[in-house]
Amino acid sequence: MISQETAKEATVSHTAPIKFGTSGWRGIIADDFTFQRVKVVTQAIAQYLMEEGIAERGVVVGYDTRFLSERFALETARVLAANDIPVYLSDRDAPTPVISFEILRRRAAGGINFTASHNPPEYNGIKFSPAWGGPALPETTKAIENIANELMKTFNYREISLDEAKKRGLVTLEDFRPHYLADIKKKINFEAIGKAKLKVGVDVLYGTAKDYLDTLLRDAGCEVTVFHDKRDPYFGGRPPEPAEENIEDLIAGVKLGRFDIGLATDGDADRFGVIDRGGRFIPANYLIPLLLDYLKKTRGWSGGVARSVATSHLIDAVAKLHGLQVYETPVGFKFIGDLITQDKISIGGEESAGLTIKGHVPEKDGILACLLAAEVVAVEGRSLSELLEDIFNRIGHRIYTDRINIHLNDAIKEGLKKKLAEPKESFAGVKVTGIDRTDGVKYLLEDGSWLLLRLSGTEPVARLYVEAGSEPVFHKLIAAGKEFALS
């Protein structure tokens, strides 16, 4: 019988390698995301932190509302404790930005969060955040991958019982809510929100924002109606993503005039969805520049702005109005978080509905983004759509932007890879004047419009991003992009 504190060994015929993606290691529960593989990855993180010489500072461990998330968190705590690493374990499901905040507040060595964010319910994942609080950068995840895949050869890890870990003082249950709520109250103009007496619809999509976003708005004096605030690991049969097609109840409520604004968050509350007066969905590509404009006027911040290569250049146009520098990053919020940590930017965002601001966590925060949208409506006394029209008038033109997923078979995918490696002269009759390979292939066109094609690393999908200054050109470019991908 193997001792609890000795290395675990098992003979395995085959195991898929551990691979961290844009935001952690994700997999299908009971297929590749299993207790044993989770323990090996946790052991790899423990060894990485010990090699860095900071393990004694402890690790914050949290989880979302997915199936078995809390059990995975408990098993992780046992492995960390067996390596003599203190564990600060959340006593309930917790938003990703709250885990980030807690890492910084405690000056911990890092955090492990069990979440697959907005992915379908059959997925779960480990998101590791190092001591600086943001998503781990590629050099960090690569080091952990290497350790994990070496350990995976024999399923090598250490563990002790939870009772023993608690007896040694290595695992403590913690309530992360009070400190985060107190901090967020310093960063949002809740007085203005309260004076406006907003009626707000909130959809937490069965996720972790429950008792966070709704509580903050009620405390401010808003009339709040919450949708989907019970736990459902199936997320109502849909991915817990606050996309327009997933928040129909919220949109209907705003259309009927029940709410002044609708606010939604994804499963782990790091992404946002905002519904404007009349039931109009405001995509992140429009909300981020709108918030940039508002924060510059109300906070007077002089720092730059960061966006991913796939995010709208409307941000650039607004930044130009205010004389601000724009930083373009690869896709993945870790790169924007790094710029926040370096204090180079006042706001950073991605078209996939991620946002944070100066002085906040270097991680996307859907709760913060929703509250900022409510603040804008309260302070300005106008709808977000009206404020967006004002921005278009000031920059001199409208901007049309969207992302389309194109499903590919293996043959078409291989053909597209080859085409993306070759030069391209034009799309829809518009000349290509530059090619950006920061992340995927982005074709910059002579009229200021652009297309970006990125191949998914986990599914047979090409993501097509298109932006143009006129609606006819916009639709022509979408058609040309699809034809290029599928021909």
Q: What is the pLDDT of residue 15?
A: 66
The distance in angstroms from the start CA to the end CA of the chain is 60
The token pair at 3 is 């001792």
What domains are there in the chain, each with its CATH number?
25-176 (3.40.120.10), 185-395 (3.40.120.10), 400-486 (3.30.310.50)
Instruction: Compute CA distances 466 → 393, 462, 477, whole Å.
Output: 22, 13, 7
pLDDT tens for residues 15-27? 689 999 877 899 9
How far apart, in whole angstroms, are the C-alpha atoms of residue 118 and residue 95?
12
pLDDT band with cut points at 50, 70 and 90 for residue 354:
very high
Instruction: Provide the whole-model pTM.
Output: 0.94
The neighbouring-strand residues paired with 2 are none
Mean pLDDT for the stretch of residues 101-119 = 96
Q: Cβ of 379: how many Cβ atoms within 10 Å? A: 16
Asked whether the predicted pLDDT for residue 2 surpasses 70, the reply is no
Report the chain's C-alpha Rg in angstroms: 23
Instruction: Match 């977000």 to its residue by tokens.
Output: 384
The token pair at 398 is 């409208």
The token pair at 38 is 């989770």
CA angle 448, 243, 385 (to 5 degrees): 60
Mean pLDDT for the stretch of residues 363-372 = 98
The amino acid at 8: K
Q: Cβ of 5: how many Cβ atoms within 10 Å? A: 11
Q: Which residues contact 432 (CB under 8 A, 6 or more apart)?
A: 424, 425, 426, 443, 444, 445, 446
Q: What is the pLDDT of residue 343?
A: 95
Contact between residue 374 and residue 200 where contact means Cβ atoms under 8 Å apart = yes
pLDDT tens for residues 237-264? 999 999 999 999 999 999 999 999 999 9
pLDDT band with cut points at 50, 70 and 90 for residue 6:
very low
Instruction: Compute CA distances 77 → 74, 86, 229, whole Å.
Output: 5, 9, 27
Q: What is the pLDDT of residue 28?
A: 93
